[in-house]
Each structure stands twice: as structure tokens, then as C-alpha cells.
A = this chain, B = another copy of it.
Amino acid sequence: MDHSDLQAAPAWQLSERALKLTSSAIREILKVTERPEVISFAGGLPSPATFPAEEMRAAADRILRDEPAAALQYSATEGYLPLREWIAARHSTGGVQIRASQVLITTGSQQALDLLGKVLVSPGKPVLVETPTYLGALQSFSLYEPRYVQLPTDERGLIPETLAPDLTADARVLYAIPNFQNPTGRRLPLERRRALAEFAKRAPFPIVEDDPYGALDYAGEPLPTLLSMAPEHIVHLGSFSKVLAPGLRVGYIIAPEDLHFKLVQAKQATDLHTPSFTQRIVHEVVKDGFLDTHVPKIRTLYRSQCDAMIAALERYMPEGVTWNRPEGGMFIWASLPAHIDTMKLLEEAVARNVAFVPGAPFYANDAQHNTLRLSFVTVPPAKIDEGIATLAALIRARA
């Protein structure tokens, strides 16, 4: 179907926010790259090799055998209490006590962003974001019509000392991904976390710490979360998408109780509650320590995939191309010579059966058009080598 025709003339008057809606460039590209011959570095999809299908199958069977009425009935907006308690306990580290009454289960982390948009974002008021930032967060917040303020970053992420009053005045929220950021793969260092947590304690707005990738640090040496450093001043978003499976759509928000209560009200109006059945499957699988043995396997796999891509980049890329070496997560961020527009490069690459995501859509303002995001987790190493070689040849041809 050609959507361009259909978008042109809706018969009915739409809301202003709907007229501004655009599709995720990532998802439109993914449609093109579903052809099996395409080597796609575009997806943000975890490797299905890591999905614990048999554990989930056993869990689903037990739940529908033992408690079908509860698993199939309407349930509390806040979420399944044993899962909320498990999450609270998991985040209670280093003397910090997180309460189940702070935890709201969401229909994936994307819903957490929508709910935060509903509750915190006001038309024309500043939302502070990293440069660049997660495209899906921009999509969610944009429905509530904020003004974006991009915060300076370097190759280690946000720079706390740049958070001057003129930049943060009247802001309603600061959105950050401290661990293996999407799209850059950057991890915020410990000393910057401390400074950001101190900033949060004084700020009249919350810092949202979006943390879907935190468990995926290759060395198994996680840095403390902002939540653990300033629990009353941070809104922490977590997800089971990258450590179990994304198709269940189970994520969560940890927030101080007063904000939690408003988020619950917003969720009630949004989808009543996250499916009772999927919440129970997640709890049944994780409750006895499964992640402690499962997550290290994902880390090992992703690390070797990442190593393969770094090796290929070093082997093929011409001078003037730079990239980072992630300590975890799913993404590498690359910069090309300034005259190369990666949107145009993508067209050529797709014609040669290679895909990636151009960097521009990840900028709230003033996009850097010579950037791109490379995902390495689902492509076999030999194909990584082949795909990067193809990309490098295209870049050389434009040099």
C-alpha cells in the first residue's frame, strides 16, 4: 500500500498533534529490509536466539492450569503485585529501598514514555534530551507538543557541568539513557552519574532514566543507576524486552508515589492495564533467579557480535570515518565525512542489500546528517563482515 496517497487528504479534520505525526524512520526501513537477502544493521531487535521459549512455554502452561480465572480477567492498573514486588526488590541495592508502591507495570517501555508525556509534558514547555536521543521517545513526547532542548554530549554522554540555568529554565523533564544509549551505545561514567544525581536533587523537574540495556554490559560490571543515587528524584524505566523477549510487551516505571499515582490514572485511561497473562508469565520465569544465569549468555553473545563488527569496521572503513567501542548494549554509532548524507547513503546501501539507520531522526533539533546507527546483534559475523565491506566501499566512492 502506498501511504503517501492516503495521507494526502483525510476526509475528517484531525487534531493538530495528529497532523504532525510521522512514522518512525526505523520502522519504515524495517519493512524494506524484511527481505531475507538484506544484511540489516537497522533493527533494534534483540536476537531471538536468546528468547527462553521453553521456560515461557512451561510458565504459560502452569499459569493457565493453576490460575486461569485470574490470568484471564481484568486486573489492577498498577500491575501484578508479585511482579511489582520482584522489581522493587531487584532495584533495592546499596542501602536504597524501592517500594512496590512505586512500581507501575507498562505495556512495554514505549508506553512508559507515552504516560510520562501525558503527565509531565505541556505544550511549548521545554523537554531536555541528549544529543542525539532515542527516536521513540521523541515520537511519544511530541504528541504532547513540547519544545525540545538538546543537551550537549561528548563521546561519554551527557556533560553535567553544561546543565546551566539558561539551558534548563522552565524544563518539565530531562530524558536520558545512561547505559549503552540508543542510538550511540555510550555509557555515562560513574563521576558523571554522581554529578547528574546531585543535579536531580536540586532540579524542580525529574530526570527520567530510561534503562532497557543496563543488564547488557559485556564485562558484567554494571555502574550504579541514577535511581540508586537519588531515589526520590529519578523516574526509572525498565523493560524485560532485552533480557527476556520484547513480544510480551512488559516494562515498568519506578517513580515517587505522588507521580506514580498520576501515572496510574493516566494508564487507566490509556489501556486499563497490561495483559494479566503476560505479566504472570514474566514473573513465573524470573522469580527464582532465572535472569542470573540467562543474562550472562546474552552478554557473551552480544559481546562477540560487537567484536565482529568492530573488527570489520577497522578492516574496511576509510579514513574520516569514526565510531565508538561500546561496553555493552546493541548499538555502534558512526560518523562519516561531513559531506556524506547518510539518508542518501542508505538508498544506495539498500540497493546493495545492506541496511542501517541514518542518524538524523535521533536528533530533536539540528540533525547531524553524516551519522548512522549500526546494530550488530542479529547478523551472523560473516554477514557483518560482508555488510560492513559493502558500506565501506560506498563511502569510499563518495570520498
Contacts and interface: CB of A to CB of B under 8 A. Distances in A.
A354 interface: no
Contact of A72 (B111, B121, B245, B269): B245
Indicate how many identical chains form the complex. Answer: 2
Nearest to A16: B122
Interface in A251-301: 256-259, 261-262, 264-266, 268-278
B140 A269 contact: yes
B64 A245 contact: no
A338 interface: no
B140 A270 contact: yes
A60 interface: yes
A347 B341 CA distance: 67
Contact of A68 (B45, B51, B110, B114): B51
A397 interface: no
A255 to B, nearest CB: 10
Contact of A73 (B61, B143, B247): B247
A342 interface: no
A63 to B, nearest CB: 9
A12 B259 contact: yes
Contact of A57 (B17, B65, B122, B278): B65
Nearest to A260: B6
Contacts of A64: 53-54, 56-57, 60
A68 B72 contact: no
A86 interface: no
Interface string A66-94: 00111111110100000000000000000
Given A61-B60, A77-B27, A271 B16 contact: no
Contact of A144 (B9, B15, B65, B258): B15
Given A57-B68, A271-B111, A278-B277, A262 B204 contact: no
Interface stretch (A18-26, A187-195, A220-228, A360-368): A18-26
Interface of A: 1, 3, 6-7, 9-18, 21-24, 27, 44-46, 48, 51, 53-54, 56-57, 60-61, 64-65, 68-75, 77, 101, 107-108, 110-111, 113-114, 118-122, 136, 139-140, 142-144, 172, 204-206, 241, 245-249, 256-259, 261-262, 264-266, 268-278
17 contacts: A12-B204, A14-B262, A15-B120, A15-B172, A18-B266, A51-B69, A53-B68, A53-B69, A60-B61, A74-B246, A74-B247, A107-B107, A110-B271, A114-B269, A139-B269, A270-B270, A271-B271
Across chains A and B, which 9 residue pairs bring their CB atoms closest together, nearest first? A53-B68, A72-B245, A247-B276, A48-B69, A57-B64, A139-B269, A72-B247, A18-B119, A21-B265
